[in-house]
Structure 1
Amino acid sequence: MFRNIAPLLRRADPAAYTLWAGFQTLASARSFYGYMLKQTGGEWSAPLDDVFIHFDYARATALGHPFEWTVGNGYSSGNTSLTYPFVLAAGWLAGFKGRELMVWAAIVAAVCVFGFLLATRRLFIESERDDWGRISSYLLPPVFLGVGAHVWSLWSGMEVAVFMATWAITLVAWSRLERDALLPDARKTSGTHAWWLGLAGALLVTTRPEAAFTIAIFGAAAALSHRRSGNLHALGILVRAGVPAAIALALQSFANKAFTGEWSANGAVVKLALNNPYMTPDDKLADYVFNVKYAALRNLDYHFAHIEGEHMGEFNPPFLGAAWNIVARQAWWAGVIPLALGMLPLAFARTRRIAVIVWLQLVAWVVVVAFNGQVRWQNERYVMPAVGWLLVLVALGVSVALRTRSQPLGRGALARPSFATLVVLGALVVQTIGVLTRPAGSPPEFRLPWLLALGGGAIFALALRYWAVRMPIVVLAVLFAYDHQIPKMRDQKWFFGRASRNIRDQHITLGKYLAELKPNRVLVGDAGAILYESNRPGLDIIGLGGYRGLPFARAGVHGLPATLELIERIAPADRPEILAIFPTWWGVLPTWFGGEELRRFPVEGNVICGGYEHIAYKADWHLLGTGDRLRTMPAGDTAIKAEIDVADLVSEKANGYVFDKPSNGWVDMRILPDPANAARDMFDAGRRIAVGKSESFIGNGLTAGQPAHLVVRTAPEKATRVRVRISGVDVGVIDLVRTGGWVESVFALPAEQVKPSMRIELVNEGPGDFVDFHDWLTQ
């Protein structure tokens, strides 16, 4: 009978699955956006301020200024996703302006998720007659949309959903190449299909550059499939698959260098510990290892599971009764289930290849994004593509584990997993359980003996070897994981709505206020909704936004004094009129450069904003530039031949300035009475040189063999001695004593050491720190 109706069901299946995927997508989107609108009283917002950074770039793009954060600021690499602003700009041009652009972002996300569910279904169905593959693929939509934090990111308005869609496009292109490899004449069409894979890879990396390894893995897998057609042909496949992405990344890097002076994007400069000039290599490695562990464990013991002791079981299958609740109290079960189910495709021959590819991409993604310190924030959105791939593997694992036969329609041998593979995977699961059940306060490490883990893996393998045992275990595991995601999903919906309300109440309200004031420019520490809603020019002191080629991103890494030195380079008429900042983020900035406090913008019940209160200040920059001039010319000299403004990154670069790293060169700043007029204040920023450390710069323009002077501006906190070297030759010391103000120490350079170009090195011999603010060479 089944054989008679099977053809009818197969014909109806595409439409049925399409409706099912569409229903799941819309139901999920409606539940999150609906709660957002409930929290905001019907106003569209977003749960992250970073969403509005995309909107800023999209608006500028729609207005004919692509790659600009705000019109007039010039090229910026602050939006790491190059393609997403263009997608949003299409919505702006179509009429989705203002906060209605979030409606367009929601539409885009829904289309992308829907397309992803359609494209990835091919992983389940092996042939036209694979009925179990068709049936089991219906599990994909609810599983993919079944983890609250993952869905939160998909609907957040960030580029996560678009990225997953580009991955699905790349998967389709790769699948065509895989089919080509089975043809008698694989060379006939594989070249063209390899180029399509390459173009899809270029789209992938321009949506998220961390996907470079993702396309590399697809390309390598495709090349390996085509080896039987010859190594040269396989190499051609690899080159075609990789070159477009490599060109896209190279063009982005060259553009960054040309317009900003940095090969890296602003986001990488600001967020990666690798760029921190003060951290030791050990500090950077420790930060990276912490991020890797955090990225994994935050999902395993939080997003996949409940908080220990809080969950009593909500699904409650009637046939299990009280036993279900007893097991449900153990959070680690829920944490390890997605991992275990996601590993199952590795154990079956029919799914092993794609499982290896996706697992390699998943691991590579986590390894790469862990360089980003922001992986610990924003509801872990950076790691969510890896979670999405894991959920696809979970659905695929359930599908292959519940197959009764290796061939369609129940023919062929029983589908059995590899025993050895299951032992190894089971050992990893056991070790993960050991990590999740570690004593409070202990480090997250594999703490169980490997012999014990392998023994547990053997039991795991025996239990899953046979279908009659495997089936109830897998089914119960799915139900148990679903049970735990009921409260987690509810929490994430609440978080989504509350976060959106927080952004509306604080950032957007502040933006509306600024739109009424119409300041010439606004300084912000959050480069998103404030500027988008106000539609005013801005200056982002974190550095993501960029401003006319000045290295604000790099200055942000060095510290606030370096940022203020760059603001000195902005024409007074173009400097921000308003500071719109969290005062707790920026130390003395509002005290020294914030004049009148205009208005406070608190947020009640804050779960996402960077502080309780955003405050708008009228900016007061009158002290900027007061430290530019040398106050007293050394006797006998008539001209300044060279000058370096320490902590001004532009001046430092022009003068070849370097300081010993790490743990040295911290930027500092002072406002002290002007040596030329004690009734006035003078501002300058510099670098703190620790005892035993040095700094150096190149002095150009002196007349060789003629007496000259080095003038060093400092504000000594305690007595210290600074040794002066010219091109490695020791020429004397500057002795500093503690003072209450600025000191411009004059050091005579021996005439025989003076050359048209020379490196001058200042070594702090102690016992106190030496803070160098400004140096001049006079003659």
Structure 2
Amino acid sequence: MVAPVTPRDVGKRLAPYAFPLVVSFALGALAIRGILNRAGRPALPLDDAFIHLQYARRLAEGHFFSYVPGEGYTTGATSLLWPIALAPLYLLGLRGLSFVWATWLLGTLAHAALAVETGRLAHRLAGRAAGAGAMIMCLGFGAFAWFAWSGMETIPFAWMLMRTARVAAAYCEPDPASPAPGRRQAIEVAALGLLTPLVRPEGAVASALAVAALALRPSGEGKPRRLVALVPALGPLLVPLLHLVIAGHAASSTTMVKWLPANPAYDRAGMIAFLQSNLRVLWQSVLDGGEWSAVFVPENFLVPTILGVFALVTRAHRAALPIHGTFVLAIVLATALPCTYLSFLWNRVRYVWPFYAAHFVLLACLAREIGDVARRFVRARAPVTPLVLGLFTGALVTKLPWTLSDLATSARAIDHQQVTLGFWAREKLPADARIGVNDTGAIAYVSDRRTFDVVGLTTEGESRYWTFGAGSRFEHYEKLPAERRPSHFIVYPQWMACPPVLGEELHRETVVDQSILGGPTMIAHEARWDLLGTGALPRVVAPKGALADEIDVSDLESEDTHGYARLGASDQDNVAVMAESPRREDAGSDEDTPAAEIADGGRMRRAVDRFTTNLAQGRAASLVLRASADTDVELVVRAGGIEIGSARLPAGPWVERVVEIPPDRVWARTEIEITPREAGAFHSFHYWLYQ
């Protein structure tokens, strides 16, 4: 029989949260006051936070993770549980920008809870003073304060990570002063391992810890009890399975856009080089208070962190708590997981901080070890451990004024640019407008207009084209049904990088004195679609015969069909270009063709183009190529490995050239290769074959 819970029991459980809650509410009041003073209304410092608000609103309205009216389920929600947690507060009456207060409330509670869990872990490993110090370091850490009131899921996720580590470790290595762990503790470990990946996919770390704990010490006797370890193992699979059942693919659009191993635009060598670069930045800058984290982390802070690893191992050994030490170290090592993201450094390095609470356990263990060593040489019981903890805390707290100022400045920037443009769209654009955006949060939430996410996070099917580059997006838009295309764009032009589809400018918002936006100016345009298809056929040359095959460079489907060798081409080299028709000089005429604006997608800085054609075997063919170069270059054309001709490209805009392929070099599947005769590069846009 389970004993009833008395008010005294509740008070005893809540008592450890009293001090952290007071501090968190005080810090929250300062942070919110700063935001309200700078922005003039509730505001958030990241556009991504408005994505959560939009999903939460749609949930409250009865639409399961549908991002805009009229469209179904999307896989763009990085966190499933955060919008679900926010939705009830929308139903309670928080609307519009007042809904921001819901994120502030939950962020405050998570901020305090994270400090408690971190303190408890450090206390168990290194004693009471170390536990108090770790808790206070959490409360005074700028990154935790910034993200607690950012509207993001960062701090709730960090809390679930640390609670999982503590509860799972205590399940295996129970405190002698507490009752032996039983079924209730096993259920909590399993539930945390199951649910944490629903807050963020990196929660798979918590699932692994929970599985390990339940497997090491099953509840009750007998092997059937070990089956409970399978519950947290399901955690990382739930979201992919949900996507697979509803959307037809397991990977989320966010994964396809942001996760390096899933990005099809990078080959293995490019992926490894990118990962190594990220790891160097993490090690040399982010964890050491360099340029990317100076607003949060004291300079040279990596040194005590490294020493803290050795201190953690020592404390875990002395306290006979190897699993506690291992689980803390696992979260510390997981700090490197964000290095697998393309967007690792964006948004104040937000992907790193959920793992950072474990670093404070390291520092707490280091302070305890320094204190123990000092007592060997000082007879009096000098409070060395608290003094060392005070130094660490003081170094962190000195960053708080800068942090809170940056939080308010960033919130003002998002509000004055993207939120303001959302209100402009709601007032000026027709109700049936469909707005193309590359930051999809605030504009979708505020404007009450349908959005078309060119990045593909919240619009299904677009992420693949974003990852490859602007040229592939332009080619994709040519095949997109007219009713699905945006009627307007509100974008950073340099990010959109697709001028052929940007029509008349309607409005712009410029915000300076900030460092959080994708650019100082975001512009609203009418969408322009008249250039779609203008580059589909040669505009100058007139080859004999009928069109037998076409390789449209940057068109992903055309490239895949013809085995086009991308050879590690980057998304920056995949472009959409507008230009006048090439001159008629290559067609044997002295007269220029009438000027006509055309647009085409292409790949820049090519050392080789290689593809396979579909031709009628044994019949002569004409290869027409559209290309350009920065300097004069002669292109050599090979069919089946044998040179069959060449084409000269003058420096400047694209031109069209014809190379004849003799009948003895034409097979049903002919491999064509184009390379510069000498060292150099060219820009390729289109190939046609006529027979």
TM-score, scaled to structure 1: 0.73
Letter in structure 1 aligned against 2:559: E
Letter in structure 1 aligned against 2:149: W
Q: Percent identity?
A: 26
The CA distance in 2 between the partners of 1:606 and 1:629, in whole Å, is 46
Q: Report the alpha carbon displacement of residue 46 of structure 1 after superposing the two structures with TM.
A: 0.7
Equivalent position to 2:332, from 363, 371, 381: 363
1:82 alignment partner in structure 2: 80
The answer to whether 1:243 aligns with 2:233 is yes
TM-score, scaled to structure 2: 0.82
The answer to whether 1:389 aligns with 2:358 is yes
The answer to whether 1:667 aligns with 2:574 is yes
1:613 alignment partner in structure 2: 521
Cα-to-partner distance string for 1:22-74 (whole Å, 9 max, x where unaligned): 32332232222232223233x11112222112223333444454444434566
Give the secondary structure class of the aligned counterpart of 1:374.
coil
The answer to whether 1:508 aligns with 2:498 is no
Is the Cα contact below 8 Å between 1:143 and 1:395 reproduced in 2?
A: no
Letter in structure 2 aligned against 1:695: D
Equivalent position to 2:489, from 550, 571, 579: 579
The answer to whether 1:152 aligns with 2:146 is yes
2:674 alignment partner in structure 1: 762
The CA distance in 1 between the partners of 2:28 and 2:412, in whole Å, is 17
The CA distance in 2 between the partners of 1:32 and 1:205, in whole Å, is 29
Letter in structure 1 aligned against 2:417: Q
Counting only pairs closer than 5 Å after superposition, residues 303-318 of structure 1 correspond to structure 2 as none
The CA distance in 1 between the partners of 2:98 and 2:471, in whole Å, is 38
Give the secondary structure class of the aligned counterpart of 1:37.
helix
1:20 alignment partner in structure 2: 19
Give the secondary structure class of the aligned counterpart of 1:608.
coil
Distance 1:567 1:464, change over 3 A: farther
Letter in structure 2 aligned against 1:696: R
Equivalent position to 2:199, from 203, 207, 211: 207
1:323 alignment partner in structure 2: none
Equivalent position to 2:168, from 170, 174, 189: 174
Equivalent position to 1:463, from 368, 374, 391: 374
| Aligned residues between the structures | 666
Letter in structure 1 aligned against 2:451: G
Cα-to-partner distance string for 1:97-119 (whole Å, 9 max, x where unaligned): 32222111122223334444565
The CA distance in 2 between the partners of 1:49 and 1:263, in whole Å, is 17
1:684 alignment partner in structure 2: 600
The answer to whether 1:288 aligns with 2:279 is yes
2:385 alignment partner in structure 1: 474
Equivalent position to 2:314, from 347, 350, 356: 347
Counting only pairs closer than 5 Å after superposition, residues 103-252 of structure 1 correspond to structure 2 as 103-116=101-114, 123=121, 141-168=135-162, 170-171=164-165, 174-175=168-169, 177-178=171-172, 197-220=189-212, 222-224=214-216, 236=226, 240=230, 243-248=233-238, 250-251=240-241
Cα-to-partner distance string for 1:362-413 (whole Å, 9 max, x where unaligned): 3332211123353333233221112222235555776xx4xxxxxxxxxxxx
Cα-to-partner distance string for 1:489-536 (whole Å, 9 max, x where unaligned): 122122222221222122211111111122522233322222321122
The CA distance in 2 between the partners of 1:758 and 1:148, in whole Å, is 61
Distance 1:20 1:566, change over 3 A: same
Equivalent position to 2:402, from 465, 488, 491: 491
Distance 1:88 1:730, change over 3 A: farther
Distance 1:741 1:484, change over 3 A: closer
Give the secondary structure class of the aligned counterpart of 1:50.
helix
2:438 alignment partner in structure 1: 525
The answer to whether 1:561 aligns with 2:468 is no
1:738 alignment partner in structure 2: 650
The answer to whether 1:298 aligns with 2:289 is yes
Equivalent position to 2:94, from 71, 77, 96: 96
The CA distance in 2 between the partners of 1:707 and 1:106, in whole Å, is 71
1:417 alignment partner in structure 2: none
The CA distance in 1 between the partners of 2:544 and 2:342, in whole Å, is 53
Is the Cα contact below 8 Å between 1:195 and 1:240 reproduced in 2?
A: no
The CA distance in 1 between the partners of 2:309 and 2:653, in whole Å, is 65
Distance 1:753 1:61, change over 3 A: farther
Is the Cα contact below 8 Å between 1:291 and 1:376 reproduced in 2?
A: no
The answer to whether 1:772 aligns with 2:684 is yes
Cα-to-partner distance string for 1:536-555 (whole Å, 9 max, x where unaligned): 222333x14353413xx344
Q: Report the alpha carbon displacement of residue 181 of structure 1 after superposing the two structures with TM.
A: 12
1:637 alignment partner in structure 2: 545
The CA distance in 2 between the partners of 1:343 and 1:170, in whole Å, is 23
Unaligned 5+ segments in structure 1 are 1-8, 307-330, 402-421, 427-459
Unaligned 5+ segments in structure 2 are 1-7, 585-592
Is the Cα contact below 8 Å between 1:708 and 1:778 reproduced in 2?
A: yes
The answer to whether 1:372 aligns with 2:313 is no
2:610 alignment partner in structure 1: 696
Letter in structure 2 aligned against 1:200: L
The CA distance in 2 between the partners of 1:136 and 1:557, in whole Å, is 46
Is the Cα contact below 8 Å between 1:143 and 1:392 reproduced in 2?
A: no
Is the Cα contact below 8 Å between 1:269 and 1:275 reproduced in 2?
A: no
The CA distance in 1 between the partners of 2:146 and 2:115, in whole Å, is 17
The CA distance in 1 between the partners of 2:308 and 2:382, in whole Å, is 12
Give the secondary structure class of the aligned counterpart of 2:102.
helix
Give the secondary structure class of the aligned counterpart of 1:605.
coil
Distance 1:289 1:733, change over 3 A: farther
Distance 1:262 1:489, change over 3 A: closer
The CA distance in 1 between the partners of 2:262 and 2:280, in whole Å, is 13
Letter in structure 2 aligned against 1:32: A
Q: Report the alpha carbon displacement of residue 255 of structure 1 after superposing the two structures with TM.
A: 6.8
Give the secondary structure class of the aligned counterpart of 2:340.
coil
Distance 1:138 1:297, change over 3 A: closer
The CA distance in 2 between the partners of 1:631 and 1:518, in whole Å, is 37
Letter in structure 2 aligned against 1:95: G
The CA distance in 2 between the partners of 1:261 and 1:655, in whole Å, is 26
Is the Cα contact below 8 Å between 1:358 and 1:389 reproduced in 2?
A: no
Distance 1:618 1:263, change over 3 A: closer
1:315 alignment partner in structure 2: none
Equivalent position to 2:507, from 592, 599, 607: 599
Q: Report the alpha carbon displacement of residue 303 of structure 1 after superposing the two structures with TM.
A: 5.5
The CA distance in 2 between the partners of 1:717 and 1:299, in whole Å, is 38
Q: Which moved more, 1:667-676 or 1:484-493?
A: 667-676
Give the secondary structure class of the aligned counterpart of 1:80.
coil
Is the Cα contact below 8 Å between 2:637 and 2:672 reproduced in 1?
A: yes
Aligned CA RMSD, in angstroms, stands at 4.3
Q: Report the alpha carbon displacement of residue 271 of structure 1 after superposing the two structures with TM.
A: 11
Distance 1:731 1:522, change over 3 A: same
Is the Cα contact below 8 Å between 2:635 and 2:674 reproduced in 1?
A: yes
Give the secondary structure class of the aligned counterpart of 1:162.
helix
The CA distance in 1 between the partners of 2:630 and 2:187, in whole Å, is 64
Give the secondary structure class of the aligned counterpart of 2:580.
strand
Letter in structure 1 aligned against 2:138: F
Q: Which moved more, 1:273-282 or 1:93-102?
A: 273-282
Distance 1:581 1:100, change over 3 A: same
